[in-house]
Every structure is written in structure tokens, then in C-alpha cells.
Amino acid sequence: MGNNYKYKEYHERYLKIDGSRTDKFLLKDGVNSPKGLALIGGQGYEVPTLGKHKILGAQRKRYLDRAYGSFNSVKDDKLGMLEKTQENVLKTVLPKLVTSLSFNEQIISASNSGQVSQVKQSTIRLSLKRAPEDNKEEDKYCASKKYLYRPRAGQQIPCCSEEKLTAGSWSKIDPSNFKLRSDSYFRDKRKFPAPNVSPYTPIGVDLFVCPKKMNHIAQHLVLSHVKGDGKFPPLLIVNIQLPTYPAPMFIGDGDGEGLSLVIYFKISETYDKDISPQFQDSIKRLVEDDMEKVKGFARESSVPFREWLKIMVGAVNPDDLVSNATESKLLNAYNEKPVLSRPQHSFYQGPNYFEVDLDIHRFNYIARKGLDSFRERLAFGILDLGLTIQAQKSEELPEKVLGCVRLNKINFVDDGQIPTLTCVEDSFSG
């Protein structure tokens, strides 16, 4: 019998227990057992895990209190053998042999063979199930998990119409839902609803579990083929990296298990006539990583134009997300407020896409702590999310929405329903 089992098999074993004070045990083939307790195979061999075959002569065998298979205690013999109780035998010895046991107690009479006297014995039939060594408990949990390798983009969260809201879906919204800087902002600081057109429109949303932050997520997906005119990337991908571990006071390496909320936008077919030349120029500078001159107190300095990218998140039903006045105050302080994505952003570009990664892992402690406390309640929230480019000059006003989408009561707590996105590096490192 090998120690490593490669296939599942079922065998019968016979555990014979002396019902009297005699010192002999009888095997199936009529051979004396040198031990007081033995497991006998169907071929008449003793299972070697319970003890080595040594002839002990007239050594006293172990006493069992009950004749019908009840293990109560084993007394010390004269040679000083260690005492093993029923619990020790079952917990330390039998688990090494089997994964599951079923007991069917029977009473049989042993026949006289040679010098062995006829005794009444109790036999416990053990139905042993062998399982492969690599069949571990965690595999049962993993079997219920879903792992994806290079899935098609935009297939995880369904789209629904705005009239019929469905929980766990996304929908299109008008850019005018967001209030941005107006034409007169540099004079009066007033904000108005944004123009009701945007160069990019949503086409899909995904939510993945990631053991670690997955940057440049587009290279791990099969993207939709969207035609473009070569002036702007046909696809705009926004990868929002959300931590799911408790928010630490200090960021450290700013990495760990989390979620990736991926939103896909395509270029509008009418952007050339709907979008002003000024905003088209801003998009071009964003994609090409142009530099912007900024006046300082002492001298001018140059900063990347991408530093003016802003993200906007607004809760449509804030009352359903808060439970006290403190949370309400915190939510209102950030609700619908555009926030510069710097420096927690990264940019990647492919043949037909432009990707923006927003790393929430490296946000300040208050923001991360607030997200951690609200995560479970986000399943009841309706969130509007959008991107814009902050205007630095009066000619760049009013501000316009780059792209926007509505998330309808999406559950950001992984109970096994969110698939895990894997890549080649994860497969080799495992």
C-alpha cells in the first residue's frame, strides 16, 4: 500500500477486538496478530500504519473494556508501552489512513486454527475512502470562486435603462448632472451644470478581485474593437483600484488585496461637431502628456498637463448611505466635489485605448477610512462618476465632462460573487 494516493478508491478493513481476556487476535487468513489491535486488509494483510510487525512472544496484549468495538482505554503492559486511549487512536492514527470512516458493527466467531483457541470476537468493518493528497480543504472554497484570465471587457456588470433601475448594474447619464466651473468662475467662483455633451460615452463596466493592484489592466483584457479616426484614442479606460483591507494609518507600500472597478468609454461619433476645439485640444494634451507652464511667486514652472485631471463622485441617494450626523457631514463634504487625481494616478496607452489608473490605495487616511466604513452600504447607493479637466485659463471655461456613468447599487463586498482577475505572472508565482 503506497503512502501517496493518486486515485479515489474504496476498500474494506476489519478491525478485530478481543472480547475476553485472551491474548491472541485472529486475522482473516487464520494468522496470529502480534499486536493487540490491528487493521486487516481484504487480502489478509495488516495495515502497517498502526504498528510494525514484531513477534513479542508471551507479551501481554492490550485490554479493551467493551467487547463490541467501544474504545475506552488501553492499559500499560509490562514492557512500558505508552498508553493510548480511544480518542488518541482515532485522532492520531486513523486520520493518517483515511479521510472518512463509517462503522458497521458485527459479531463473528473466530474459528480454531493451529494453536489458536476458539474465542468470540467483535469485528468493526471500516469503509475507507482514499482521496488524492492535493485535495485540500481550501480547494473546496476555491471551487466556488471564479477566476478569469483575459476575459472580454465590459461583461461583468450589466447595463440597464435609466427608467428601469436594476441593482448591480450601470446606466448612462447626462453630463449636466455634474456642476462644474462656469464661464465666470474666475470672477465669482460660481458653478453651473456642465454642458450636456461629452466626447466619451460609457459602453461597459467590470468589477474584479485583484490579489494585488493590477496596473495597466487593459493588457489583461480582450477589448472591444472600436473604430476611430486616429485623432483621439477610440477607447478610454478608467481603472479605479479600491483597497479591501482595513485602512492603515501609514500607507507603507500602498498595495494589497482589493477590487478594480473598470469603466470603458468609447469616442462619440459626433464629438467633432459637439465638442469645442478648445476642449479637443485639452484632450489631446492629456493623451500626449504635454507640459503646462504655471506662474509661481518667484518664477514660472512647468507641470504635466495630466495633473489637471479631476474625478467626480456624487451619491444620488445620500440618505440611504449614512446612519448618523457625523457620517452625513463627512459624505456631504466630499459629495459631488471634483478632486484632482494627482498624484495617485497612472496613465497607459495602447494601439486603440488610453487608460487612466486611479490608485485609492494611496489616498489620504481620512479618504481611505471613509471608504472602508461605507463599503458595505455602497450596495444600497446610486453613484454618479465622471472625469473632467480642470480649467486653468478663462478660455478653457466652462469646464466640460470627459466621460460619466451611473453605478446602480453595486455590491463592493466580495462574498464569492466577484470574479478574480488573474494574469500570467500570478500563475507562475503560485
**CA–CA separation, 233 vs 186, rounded Å?**
31
Q: Output the pLDDT for position 295.
A: 77
Quote the percentage of the chain above a pLDDT of 90: 46
Predicted confidence band of residue 158 (pLDDT cuts 50, 70, 90): very high
Of 85, 111, 135, which residue is a domain's last?
135
Name the one residue in this structure whose C-alpha cell is 503560485. 430
State whether residue 1 is helix, strand or coil.
coil
| Set of cell numbers at residue 354 | 488610453
For residue 150, being part of any structural domain is answered with yes
- Of 336, 377, 363, which Cα lies nearest the Cα of 179? 336
**pLDDT of res. 144:** 62
Q: Which residue has the higher pLDDT, 214 or 142?
A: 214
Compute the average pLDDT of residues 247-254.
Answer: 82
pLDDT at 179 over 90: yes
pLDDT, position 65: 47
In contact, 354 and 287? CB cutoff 8 Å: yes
pLDDT tens digits for 195-230?
Answer: 999 999 999 999 999 999 999 999 999 998 888 888
> Are 181 and 61 contained in the same domain?
no
pLDDT at 161 over 90: no
**196: helix, strand or coil:** coil
The candidate with the shortest Cα–Cα distance to 151, out of 240, 227, 265, 264, is: 264
Mean of the per-residue pLDDT values of the chain: 75
Peptide bond into 351 cis (omega under 30): no
Q: For residue 292, tell me if it sits in a domain.
A: yes
C-alpha cell at 300: 514660472
Say if residue 341's pLDDT is above 60: yes
Q: Are residues 103 and 238 in the same domain?
A: no
* pLDDT at position 70 over 70: no
pLDDT single digits (tens) 105-130: 443 344 444 443 444 443 344 444 44
4 falls within a domain: no
pLDDT at 419 over 50: yes
| DSSP track, 105-118 | EEEEEPPPBTTBPP
Q: Are residues 144 and 224 in the same domain?
A: yes
d(C-alpha 186, C-alpha 181), whole Å: 9
pLDDT of residue 402: 97
Any residues with CB less than 8 A from the CB of 271 and at least 6 apart, and which? 199, 232, 280
| Confidence (pLDDT) at 426 | 55
Check whether 150 has a pLDDT greater than 60: yes
Yes or no: say if 420 and 257 are a contact pair by the CB < 8 Å rule.
Answer: no
Residues 286 and 166 grouped into a single domain: yes
Chain segment 291-340, per-residue pLDDT in tens = 988 877 677 788 999 999 999 999 999 989 888 888 888 788 778 888 89
Residue 114 and residue 164 in one domain: no
pLDDT given for residue 425 in this prediction: 64
Q: Which of 392, 388, 389, 390 is nearest to 300 (CA)?
A: 392
pLDDT class of 250 with cuts at 50, 70, 90 = confident
Instruction: Please report the pLDDT score of residue 350 as a whole number.
Output: 94
Say whether both 335 and 402 belong to one domain: yes
> Residue 75: which domain range?
9-135
Say how many domains are in the chain: 2
**Strongest mean pLDDT among 247-251, 295-299, 377-381:** 377-381
Q: For residue 2, is it within any domain?
A: no
- Position 4 pLDDT exceeds 90: no
Number of CB atoms found within 10 A of residue 51's CB: 16
- 277 found inside a domain: yes
Q: Is the dihedral of CA 357, 363, 366, 371 positive or negative?
A: positive
Q: What is the distance between the alpha carbons of residues 79 and 273, in angstroms, rounded to a whole number? A: 99
Measured CA to CA, the distance from residue 120 to residue 370 in angstroms comes to: 73
pLDDT of residue 248: 86
Q: How far apart are CA 120 and CA 111, in angstroms?
A: 9
Kindly tell me if the per-residue pLDDT of 103 is higher than 70. no
**Percent above pLDDT 70 for the chain:** 64
CB 411 within 8 A of CB 381: no
Domain end among 104, 135, 166: 135
Distance CA 345, CA 323 (A): 32
Let me know whether 94 and 172 are in one domain: no
- Decide if 424 is inside a domain: yes
User: Picking from 95-104, 138-147, 193-202, 264-273, which range would have the lowest pLDDT averaged per residue?
Assistant: 95-104
Task: Say what the pLDDT of residue 40 is.
Answer: 46
Rounded Cα distance, 360 and 38, in Å: 62
Confidence (pLDDT) at 242:
94
Q: Among residues 111, 135, 159, which one ends one of the domains?
A: 135
Amino acid at 168: G
Is 255 within a domain? Answer: yes
In terms of domains, do 358 and 416 share one?
yes
In a domain, 1, yes or no: no
**Is the whole-model pTM more than 0.75?**
no
Q: State the Cα–Cα distance between residues 178 and 180, nearest whole angstrom.
A: 6
Does the pLDDT at position 57 exceed 60?
Answer: no
User: Same domain for 375 and 413?
Assistant: yes
Report pLDDT for 50.
Answer: 43
Q: Do 151 and 299 belong together in one domain? A: yes
pLDDT band (50, 70, 90) for residue 409: very high
| DSSP E strands, 244-381 | 258-267, 291-295, 300-304, 309-315, 339-340, 345-349, 353-359
Same domain, residue pair 207 and 276: yes
Residue with cell 489478509: 44
Q: What is the pLDDT of residue 88?
A: 52
Residue scoring higher pLDDT (109 or 386): 386
385 and 281 assigned to the same domain: yes
What pLDDT shows up at residue 367? 82
